[in-house]
């Protein structure tokens, strides 16, 4: 199975072309779309969504992730095999930061064996390198054959979730979804026992402060109020009941964030 993520958009024919290439190489392969709605050029958003979505796929899935503003430059084309058995194919620009942290890294290869490429376009590596290599791997090509062994890969800088000695919770905004909900990188397990349901929470971003409530579901607060809860992926989400939290708090992704009791 190949799980496919990109920032190409659903109206783009690029998605269909990449799938056609994969099917031409491995006709029997199942291709599932994670999303093609990553904000254009937003590597951080792609990295976080890839990590969260990957948890729901079988461990032998091959993940094709293409958010690649540096296509055609000196950035490498790579594949990573994790200790869990999952394989990730895409650009070496940090998009695999969080899956590598989640699953651990077993081996990294640069995709420099042109035998497994489809074409040589400078601007469409998603088709000519990444899709083609993913399909060949799905067809049983050994991981060791796709290219040279690498000893490192690019990682994004980010604010790691933690609790300090005063009980203050720190992390960062991972991304905002289509409803305007603010997804953080703070695991719900990190805050278990720290907050009671319906308890007030102060959300601080730089010099701005907002007051919300800790709850289970959106309707635990009145319409227009701010809610902090554990989302379906197991991370803290900041939402506004029937509203757009990203607009209310003025956040988009990557901002450091602090949560504490009133």
Q: How much is the average pLDDT of 30-34?
A: 98
CATH number of the domain where residue 179 is located: 2.40.30.90
Q: What are the tokens at 147? A: 């290219």
Residues of the chain above pLDDT 90, percent: 90
Instruction: Indicate the burial class of 170 (C-beta count within 10 angstroms; 0-12, 13-18, 19 or more).
Output: middle
| Cα 161 from chain centroid (whole Å) | 16
* pTM of the model as a whole: 0.94
The contacts of residue 79 (CB under 8 Å, 6+ apart) are 87, 88, 89, 108, 109, 111, 133, 137, 143, 146, 147
Residue 61 falls within a domain, yes or no?
yes
Whole-number pLDDT of residue 39: 96
| Chain segment 198-240, per-residue pLDDT in tens | 889 999 988 899 999 999 989 889 999 999 999 999 999 999 9
Do residues 104 and 209 share a domain? Answer: no
Each residue of 4-29: b (16+ CB within 10 Å) or e? bbbbbeeeeebbeebbebbeebbeeb
| Chain segment 138-185, per-residue pLDDT in tens | 999 999 999 999 999 999 999 999 998 888 999 999 999 999 999 999
Residue 156 falls within a domain, yes or no?
no
Residue 155 falls within a domain, yes or no?
no
Do residues 192 and 220 share a domain? Answer: yes
Domain boundary among 112, 130, 150: 150
Locus of tokens 């980010």: 158
Domain boundary among 150, 177, 208: 150
Do residues 27 and 109 share a domain? Answer: yes
Supply the DSSP symbol for 129: I
Contact between residue 147 and residue 111 where contact means Cβ atoms under 8 Å apart: yes
Give me the phi and psi of 67, to 5 degrees please. -125, 105
CATH number of the domain where residue 81 is located: 3.40.50.10790
Residue 157 falls within a domain, yes or no?
no
Do residues 127 and 228 share a domain? Answer: no
Do residues 143 and 201 share a domain? Answer: no
Number of domains the chain is built from: 2
Q: Give me the sign of the Cα torsion angle 9, 12, 13, 14.
A: negative
Do residues 73 and 179 share a domain? Answer: no
Residue 123 falls within a domain, yes or no?
yes
Do residues 138 and 190 share a domain? Answer: no
Edge-to-edge strands, sheet with 105-110: 31-35, 2-6, 62-66, 87-91, 77-82, 105-110, 149-150
Q: How far apart are CA 34 and CA 57, in angstroms?
A: 10
Task: Tell me the residue range of the domain where 175 lies.
Answer: 162-261
Do residues 207 and 101 share a domain? Answer: no
Residue 99 falls within a domain, yes or no?
yes
Do residues 117 and 245 share a domain? Answer: no
Domain boundary among 89, 118, 150: 150
Do residues 131 and 215 share a domain? Answer: no
Rounded to a whole number of angstroms, the distance between the first and last alpha carbons of the chain is 47
Residue 136 falls within a domain, yes or no?
yes
Do residues 103 and 55 share a domain? Answer: yes
Residue 210 falls within a domain, yes or no?
yes
Do residues 46 and 169 share a domain? Answer: no
């Amino acid at each position: 199975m190949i799980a496919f993520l990109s920032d190409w958009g659903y109206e783009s024919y690029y998605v269909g072309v990449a799938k056609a290439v994969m099917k031409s190489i491995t006709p029997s392969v199942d291709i599932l779309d994670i999303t093609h709605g990553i904000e254009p050029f937003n590597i951080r958003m792609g990295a976080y969504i890839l990590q969260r979505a990957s948890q729901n796929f079988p461990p032998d899935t091959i993940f094709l992730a293409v958010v690649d503003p540096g296509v055609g430059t000196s950035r490498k084309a790579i594949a990573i095999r994790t200790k869990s058995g999952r394989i990730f194919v895409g650009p070496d620009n940090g998009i695999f930061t969080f899956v590598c942290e989640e699953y651990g890294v077993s081996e990294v290869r640069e995709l420099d064996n042109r035998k497994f490429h489809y074409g040589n376009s400078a601007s469409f590596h998603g088709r000519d390198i990444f899709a083609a290599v993913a399909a060949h791997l799905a067809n049983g090509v050994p991981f060791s054959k796709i290219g040279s062994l690498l000893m490192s890969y690019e990682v994004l800088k980010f604010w790691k979730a933690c609790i300090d000695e005063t009980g203050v919770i720190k992390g960062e905004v991972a991304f905002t979804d289509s409803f305007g909900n603010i997804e953080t990188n703070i695991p719900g397990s990190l805050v278990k026992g720290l907050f009671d349901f319906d308890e007030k929470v102060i959300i601080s971003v730089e010099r701005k402060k907002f007051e919300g409530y800790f709850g289970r579901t959106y309707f635990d607060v009145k319409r227009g109020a701010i809610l902090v809860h554990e989302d379906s992926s197991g991370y803290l989400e900041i939402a506004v009941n029937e509203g757009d939290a990203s607009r209310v708090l003025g956040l988009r992704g990557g901002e450091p964030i602090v949560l504490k009791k009133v």
